[in-house]
Amino acid sequence: MVRVRFAPSPTGFLHIGGSRTALFNWLYARAKGGKFILRIEDTDVKRSRPEYLEEILDSLSWMGFDWDEIYYQSKRFDIYREIAERLLQEGKAYRASPSGTDAEGEEDGTEIEKKQDAIIFKVAQQKVVFNDLIHGEISFDTGVIKDQVLIKSDGTPTYNFACVVDDAAMNINHVIRGDDHISNTPKQILLYQALNFSVPEYAHLPLILGSDGGRLSKRTGATAISDYRRMGYLAEALVNYLLLLGWSPGGNQEIIGIRDAIKKFDIKNANKTAATFDMDKLNWINSQYIKIADTLDLSAALEPFLKEQGLDVSKFSKDYLLSVVKLFQGRLGTLKDFPAWADFFFKDDFVVDPQAKEKYLTRDFSREFKLFVDRLQALEPFDIVTIEQCFRGLLVELGLQSRELIHPVRVALTGKTIGPGLFEVIYYLGKERVGRRLTAWVKQ
């Protein structure tokens, strides 16, 4: 059975790169009928934070990456020390002060209080060769690798050592991670061999680059997954985009649901070259998912964004909210767009765009607005068809072109120059609110 793991460290939030790694591990496990293991690498007690752990777990759950087993390295220190002692007894490791040896492994780069001698692994000179499932054969000469610290002088394990011990103990047989870990692989293979553990298969994913061609940064998309959630991206859309950052379903297909992806996915088909993170592409994919979303589910997802902007929708019926959402569903890029575009449906004190006012409402429309309000008040039935007929009839009566009145009415009712069809807007606002808003522009 395929057993893979995702091993985040709770020293920071879950970002795009880590979530892509989690996705490929989860997807491979589900595609092969295997197990997805979540291992929290919290050996750095000083930098690990509960708020980071909570965000990581919440983000994974939000994206749908359910795990089959979960482990915490901080609860396994005794196991690491026991294995290190075994290597000492077998003459494959030695005790020494890190400051007094040419060893590598204090990878956190911080000064720590020296409480005991570190345990150092002896690196033998040999050639390490492994077949990467994505890149093919990779070889290393261990002559350039220094002796490796296993247990640091503060008693905690180093990354490479804890990783090998846990992968073996948890029966991880496929390790899927980023290209930046390729240099760790020969060090870990040496430990597997020294401990007589089975070496897993490796697949190293090319890194994700920013739009400027450099490493992904906050400016080019390296934002926490929880921030993307707050910005109004749908989990399904973000997962779809992450999938395209390293794999393709073929046939120029860009929108693919996770169930279809599971049927087609194989880690061996992952891209061999780096992917470029493109916010415009993510926004487009998100808009496509919003368009096809169930409107009831979409309405529920939008409510927190409305409340965040002080828009109280509790005074309106669910059917009303649903109708307004349908008007905008095909226009939204993110959920956060909705309150700014639809605020006039939920409050009267909306802001009128100054440029729109200057362009369309400098002229006095008192006569036209008053006539239109009077006709709407008397209109029966009051529906989208009769509203348009009423408006068209008024244009003929006044000798006006459609654009001469439709834009001023829209700006007076919504404060904006663009939006859903004007007659739909009038219908859902209703006679009373339309009358009040247009009358406000009538000079007494």
Q: Give the catalytic positions in this structure.
A: 218
Q: Choose among 326, 324, 315, 316: nearest CA to 342.
A: 324
User: What Å distances lie between residue 181 and 176, 225, 348, 354, CA to CA?
Assistant: 10, 22, 56, 54
Quote the Cα angle for 12-17-21, to 5°: 105
**400 DSSP assignment:** -
Q: Give how far Cα 51 sits from Cα of 8, 14, 211, 226, Å.
A: 14, 11, 30, 12
Q: What is the DSSP letter of 136?
A: E
Sign of CA dihedral 222, 223, 224, 229: negative
Q: Which amino acid is at 262?
A: I
Say if CB 372 and CB 394 are below 8 A apart.
yes
Half-sphere exposure of 315 (CA within 13 A, CB side): 8
Cα first-last separation, the chain: 80
Phi-psi region of 204 (alpha: psi -120 to 50; beta: other; left: phi over 0): beta
CA-CA-CA-CA dihedral for 187, 158, 205, 69, to nearest 10: 120
How far CA 274 is from CA of 185, 247, 337, in Å, comes to 19, 11, 31
* Residues shown for the chain: 444
User: CA 23 → CA 20, 61, 64, 229, distances in Å?
Assistant: 5, 12, 9, 16
Q: Which two tokens stand for residue 171?
A: 């029966």
Q: Measure the CA–CA gap between 302 and 111, rounded to whole angstroms.
A: 48
Q: Are 188 and 150 in contact (CB under 8 A)?
A: no
Compute the distance between CA of residue 368 and CA of residue 364 in angstroms, rounded to an integer. 9
Name the residue among 219, 272, 264 with its Cα closest to residue 16: 219
